[in-house]
Amino acid sequence: MAAVDSAWRPTLNGGLLCLASAATPNLVVKGFKFDTLGRMLGWHVIFSTYGFWLPNDPRGSGSKRVRAQHIYDAGGEATKVHTTRSVARQPHDGKLRRVAKESLKYPAVELTGIQARAAAHGIAAVCPKIGLVVHACAIMPDHVHLVVGKHPFDGDELIACLKRAATRGMNDERLNPMRTFPRADGRLPSPWAARGWNVILFTPEQMRGAVRYVVENPVRAGLKRQRWSFVVPYVG
């Protein structure tokens, strides 16, 4: 994912995606609540679809171990990295990465435009219920970005809530990409990867930078700019 400008760039910090700028250190929270949360303004949350980035991706990952035996057999040990730089463009054995993806229990999920729209409907429905203000949203084929205002939920709780809401939206429109793979109990596998990434934003500059990054994300990927009715412009 390309940065919007030189001040903001996606990086890996201890294996977790964060946004780094010259003015601020890498600010990442994964399920921890610090004293500084009292002065935060919002979150940049990111979650990906099932199969987007595997724990043994040859470019590196944020995982310490591979939990699924079939993925381990195909790609080996987890490839945890501790760099503060993005590894998305890291030279690697593309064939090895494809073999590992082919070993997935289900096909890797890539959302279509109408599935993305259904997921957005689900997110729109949950926001007023939990009092969440969304300042930017980009639903890409294989991952989702949102910039949201300060909320009582921590980053991990927000991601879990947003995943459930997006799934409900797709279910309501019968567009869940996992609908042809029901389990024995009739339930569908999650179309989302486990966990996600979240970044605390403390200043108006950080909020504006994150909003710019998310708004431009589809455009930089060659897709149309996304406009969602539930997004409230950030005016800080």
pTM, full prediction? 0.72
Rounded Cα–Cα distance for residues 1 and 15 (Å)? 16
CA separation, residue 26 to residues 153, 183, 223 (Å)? 21, 40, 28
The more confidently predicted of residues 70 and 53 is 53
Q: Is the pLDDT of residue 20 over 50?
A: no
Q: Is the pLDDT of residue 59 over 60?
A: no
Question: Residue 101: pLDDT band by 50, 70, 90 thresholds?
Answer: low
List, for residues 176-205, the tens digit of each pLDDT value. Answer: 999 999 999 999 999 998 878 888 999 999
Q: Which pLDDT belongs to residue 13?
A: 38
Q: Which pLDDT belongs to residue 2?
A: 26
Rounded Cα–Cα distance for residues 178 and 80 (Å)? 28
Q: Which pLDDT belongs to residue 32?
A: 41
Edge-first strand order for the sheet with 42-48 is 134-139, 143-149, 42-48, 197-201
Q: Which pLDDT belongs to residue 22?
A: 36
Question: DSSP string covering 4-45, please?
Answer: SBTTBEEEEETTEEEEE-SSS-----SS---GGGGG--EEEE
Q: Which pLDDT belongs to residue 104?
A: 73
Q: Is the pLDDT of residue 9 over 80?
A: no
Q: Is the pLDDT of residue 219 over 80?
A: yes
Are 127 and 134 a contacting pair, CB within 8 Å?
yes
Average pLDDT across the chain, whole number: 76
Q: Which pLDDT belongs to residue 172?
A: 98
Q: Is the pLDDT of residue 39 over 80?
A: yes
The more confidently predicted of residues 70 and 23 is 70
The residue-averaged pLDDT of 26-51 equals: 69
Q: Which of 21-35, 76-90, 188-202 has the lowest mean pLDDT?
A: 21-35
The residue-averaged pLDDT of 154-177 equals: 96
> Could you give all domains of the chain from N- to C-terminal order, each with its CATH number?
22-51+109-220 (3.30.70.1290), 53-107 (no CATH)
The more confidently predicted of residues 28 and 41 is 41
Question: Residue 5: pLDDT band by 50, 70, 90 thresholds?
Answer: very low
